[in-house]
Amino acid sequence: MTRIGWYGLGSMGLAMATNLQRHLATKNAMNLIYSNRTMARGDPLKTLGATPETSFAKLVGQCGIIFTMVSNDSVLQQLITSAIGSGHSLRDKIFVDCSTVHPETVGLTVSKLREQQASFLAAPVFGGNPIAVDGKLVFAIAGPKKASEVVKPLIQDVMGRKVIDCGEDATKSSLLKIAGNIVTVNMMEAVGEAQVFAERTGLGTGPMEELISEAFGAVAGGYSKRLTTGAYAPPLESRPGFGVSLAIKDANHAFAMAKEHNVELPGLKVAHENMVAAREYAGECLDSSSMYGVLRQKAGMTFWNEKSRKE
Ligand SMILES: NC(=O)c1ccc[n+]([C@@H]2O[C@H](COP(=O)([O-])OP(=O)(O)OC[C@H]3O[C@@H](n4cnc5c(N)ncnc54)[C@H](OP(=O)(O)O)[C@@H]3O)[C@@H](O)[C@H]2O)c1
């Protein structure tokens, strides 16, 4: 039996690893080995029977399938470098990265791991923390077919409700993720604009939220709730649902690729500017929907609403 490892226990990773560990327990399979920069984040996983390992290189040595779910391209690259430099043979190991990274990063990682006779699957996800907790994420997966077939049963109905197979070229799922986030960020901007409009015209955010949820679906409704519950600007030191810097990174990846292919992304540009302005005003501890705070300021209100933090 292959031992499974997990690195990255942030807003998404902890929820995903928890569902995976629960699944392994029901199958009487070997428990997950987990690691994270902040090891204490894994305490709930340990309670479920998973095994902590402070060193990623040692985790890799013990596991045949290694999932990663980290902030960005450079963290993924550091992990792969440490796995390769660990001295453990990586032959026949399968690395599965669920983070949102640039297709170029995926291509580089594929080549580096291929030299070690290991496989790399890019398996980014769609859906936020509550959806990850429910095990209902949408995954896009791409990479060697043999490896995909091994990994899919660990995803389908465990961490995700749907796996979109993007074929054998691992860069394709990462491309789909970047494209999907053009929709996500534009939708957050649209919901933010509508809610500021509703508040300023006296319509009120309640009826607006009801309409958004009913007419535009649960995803748009969820974005509205991030505003009306104040989650766009959560308490300092808490972990935002989808950190503003992560969404800015994703938008920057989209701009870089759009430029290469002569595509304009004017809506994304507006949302990006507002996210950057939000971060300049209120710092890192913001959700990606925090362009709403800037839209509020532009309409003569405070960045904060009655449910958000206040400074
Ligand atoms: N949140 C969402 O709604 C969402 C949805 C889909 C996709 N994504 C993507 O999924 C990925 C993870 O998102 P998330 O929301 O879970 O992010 P997060 O809460 O910020 O967690 C990031 C993870 O990366 C680790 N990390 C950060 N910098 C590191 C470093 N220098 N060295 C080692 N580890 C480091 C963090 O460790 P610590 O715990 O020690 O900080 C944590 O485990 C991102 O690529 C994001 O774009 C997010």
Q: CB of 160 closer than 6 A to ligand 1?
A: no
CA of 148 to the centre of ligand 1 (A): 23
- What is each CA distance from 109 to 19, 172, 185, 256, in whole angstroms? 26, 14, 27, 19
Strand ranges across the sheet with 119-122: 51-52, 33-35, 4-7, 65-68, 94-97, 119-122
pLDDT per residue over 60-119, tens digit each?
A: 999 999 999 999 999 999 999 999 999 999 999 999 999 999 999 999 999 999 999 999
Residue type, 219: V
| Residue among 157, 130, 114 nearest 15 (CA) | 130
Smallest CA-to-CA distance from 24 within 34, 9, 11 is with: 34
Residue with tokens 């766009």: 232
What does pTM read for this prediction? 0.97
Q: Are 136 and 15 in contact (CB under 8 A)?
A: no
Substitution candidate for ligand 1 out of 70, 82, 138 with most atoms within 8 A of CB:
70
Q: Which domains does the chain have, with CATH numbers?
A: 2-167 (3.40.50.720), 173-297 (1.10.1040.10)
Ligand 1 closest atom vs CA 9: 43
For position 1, what pLDDT does the model report? 74
pLDDT at 175: 98
H-state helical runs in the chain? 13-26, 43-47, 56-62, 73-84, 103-115, 129-133, 145-155, 171-201, 205-228, 244-260, 266-282, 291-298
What is the DSSP code (8-state) at residue 239? P
Q: How far apart are CA 132 and CA 147, in angstroms?
A: 23
Q: What are 212-232's pLDDT values in tens digits?
A: 999 999 999 999 999 999 999
Tokens of 119: 């496989």
CA distances in angstroms from 298 to 59, 194, 203, 225, 295, listed in the order given: 49, 13, 18, 21, 5
Residue 176's contacts (CB-CB under 8 Å, 6 or more residues apart) are 124, 140, 164, 166
Residue 58 has φ and ψ, to the nearest 5°, of -70, -35
- The CA 104 to ligand 1 mean position distance, Å, reads 19
Q: Give me 173's structure tokens.
A: 């799922």
Strand partners, 97: 68, 122
Among the listed residues 149, 36, 159, 41, the one whose alpha carbon sits nearest the alpha carbon of residue 98:
159
Quick count: other Cβ atoms within 10 Å of Cβ 5? Answer: 27
Residues of the chain with pLDDT under 70: none
Residues in the chain, total = 311
> What pLDDT sits at residue 20?
98
- 9's tokens: 């226990």
In contact, 306 and 230? CB cutoff 8 Å: yes
Whole-number pLDDT of residue 164: 98
Distance CA 186, CA 180 (A): 10
Name the DSSP letter for residue 37.
S
Pocket test for ligand 1, best of 6, 7, 9, 11 (most atoms within 8 A of CB): 11
177 is catalytic: yes
Do 50 and 33 contact (CB within 8 A), yes or no?
A: yes
Tell me, in angstroms, the distance from the centre of ligand 1 to residue 98's CA.
10
Structure-token match 């300021």, residue found:
297
- Out of 93, 177, 225, 249, the active site residue is 177
Q: Quick count: other Cβ atoms within 10 Å of Cβ 227?
A: 30
